[in-house]
Each structure stands twice: as C-alpha cells, then as structure tokens.
Amino acid sequence: MNARVLACLLLAAPLLAGCLSDRTLGQSLDDTSAATEVKTRLLGAGFNGRFMEVDVAVVDRFVLLSGRVATEADRKEAERIAWTVGAVDEVANEVTIGYWDLGRDVNDAWITEQIRVRLLADNDIKGTNFNIQVHAANVYLLGQARSEDELRRAAEHASIVAGVKKVVSYVKVRERGTPPDISVAASQLTDQQGQPVANDPQAGQPIRIAPASSAPAPIVQPDAQPTSRGQYSDPYAPGATPPPGSTGNSSGLESTQLPPVRNN
C-alpha cells in the first residue's frame, strides 16, 4: 500500500468504515443511528454545553462514552442518558473529570491518526473493524477483531505510538460474549545492539508514520467493566444513593424508565 492510497483511505474512513468492515450495512446503520441518538440526547440535556466534550462510539449495540465533563454527577448523568436509548445493550463509561485543554486535544488527534495509520498499514489487521478513541493520551479501542491475535496486534500498535499513556481495549472477537484477555504486555523487540525497537510489521514500506516510542504504553483492562442493561442502576432513581457532588434528587434531574431488555 503506497502513501497516496493510504491517504485516501484515511480521508474516506468515516464514510466507508461500515461498508468495508466485517459488519453488515444494516448493523453499521443501526450503530450510527444509536450513536447519533445518544449524542443528540446528551446535547439536549447539556445546558451550558456540559456534555459538549463527551464522545460517543457504538459498535454492535455496545456504547463507549469517553471525553470530559466538569463533575462526577455529570459523568454519571451521561451514562444514564445513554441508557435511555433503546438500541443499547452495554455501556462503558470512560468519561473523565477535567477542563478543556487545546494542546491536549491536538495531541489526542495526532495520536488517533498515528494509530489509524498503523492499523491500516498492517496487512494482518482489518483496520476498518476498529474504532479509536483517545482522550488525555489514553487510548480506547472498540470494535470486533477476527481473532485473538488481531486484537493483540491492534493493541500493541496503539501502545507504541509516542505519547500514549495506556491502551484500554473493549474489542471483542467476532461474536458477542465474554471479552477476550487483552492484559498482555506490548512486545519488546531488540535490534543487534540490544536496543528496543517498534513491533512494526510494515518496516521498510513507503508509508510515513511517526517514530514509535521505545517504551510501549501498558495495555490494561478497564478500571470498571461495562454495565449491561440488567446490571445498570440509575443513580437518580428514587431511593438510590445520589452521585458525589449532587444534593439528592432535588437538582431537577428526573429518572427515566429504561426500555425493556431485548429478547434475542
């Protein structure tokens, strides 16, 4: 693959991902619709732009929330809003508490593109099956891998991009079910002088990518496992323990009844 073809793929990726991935067009459209609905509801509920920096990614009815909010109450409310969308089976809440930082956002965008380039350049990885979210240099991978090896290679590619702090994978292998074991250290290859080198399967190819970090970032399990519809507890439901920073249920937020569980 030459640089021109790769550049075209990068520009077209958002439009072609659903068609080029292993998922059906119908599945891709359903996920896009769910992501749009979650984001729309977040923006509708977010007076003063409180949810403007929350990113939403959906793959196979699995929602990954990432980005930034100002308070812990907002972080929990973002998840509650995601659960009000019927086309959702699981939610992973990786939203953090913090403030807007232009330099950080620019760096996150650079890291995202470097990971995307590496995935597309690796012939053993179908890059269009992976969704990449980066916030504060923490990388979150979402999607469906064709094998445990492909999942592992994708996580390792992300771990060797300079500046990455950690890699968290929500990628599942083929069918829905128990997430595979991704708690594996990134490969540490050495050259003839014993110095660490990047595990870059496309070394020598005419694709321009930034040099890899000599100290790969850790590949770790999520701090908290995703919740399923049967496990989710609405923090604003009557009688529930209110989230930190709130004053009971007197803040004007109301509990919304969850849609019924989908019967497969």
- Per the domain annotation, does 201 fall within a domain? yes
Determine the pLDDT at residue 18: 45
pLDDT at 83 over 80: yes
- Residue 247: inside a domain: no
* Sheet strands (E) in the chain: 54-59, 62-69, 90-97, 130-135, 138-145, 166-169, 172-173, 189-190, 196-197, 219-220, 227-228
Residue 215 has pLDDT above 90, yes or no: no
Containing domain of residue 191, as a range?
Answer: 3-225
Mean pLDDT of the region 148-155:
92
Number of domains in the chain: 1
- Quick check: is 23 in a domain? yes
Task: Tell me the per-residue pLDDT of 228-238, one tens digit each, with 9 for 90 and over.
Answer: 887 777 666 66
The percentage of residues in the chain with a pLDDT greater than 70, rounded to a whole number, is: 64
The whole-number pLDDT of residue 239 equals 67
Q: Within a domain: residue 197?
A: yes
pLDDT at 198: 46
What is the per-residue pLDDT for 6? 42
Report if residue 239 sits inside a domain.
no
CA–CA distance, 97 with 181 (Å, rounded to integer): 28
d(CA 25, CA 30): 9
Task: Answer whether residue 112 is part of any domain.
Answer: yes
- What would the pLDDT profile of 48-66 be if each residue is shown by its tens digit? 778 999 999 999 889 999 9
Looking at the domain assignment, is residue 202 inside a domain?
A: yes
Average pLDDT, the chain: 74
**pLDDT greater than 50 at residue 42:** yes
Instruction: Report pLDDT for 250.
Output: 39
CB 201 within 8 A of CB 124: yes
Cβ(159)–Cβ(186) under 8 Å? Answer: yes
Supply the pLDDT for residue 158: 94
Q: Supply the pLDDT for residue 238.
A: 65
Q: Locate tokens 């292993």: which residue?
A: 22
Domain assignment present for residue 217? The answer is yes
Question: What mean pLDDT comes out for the span 251-261?
Answer: 41
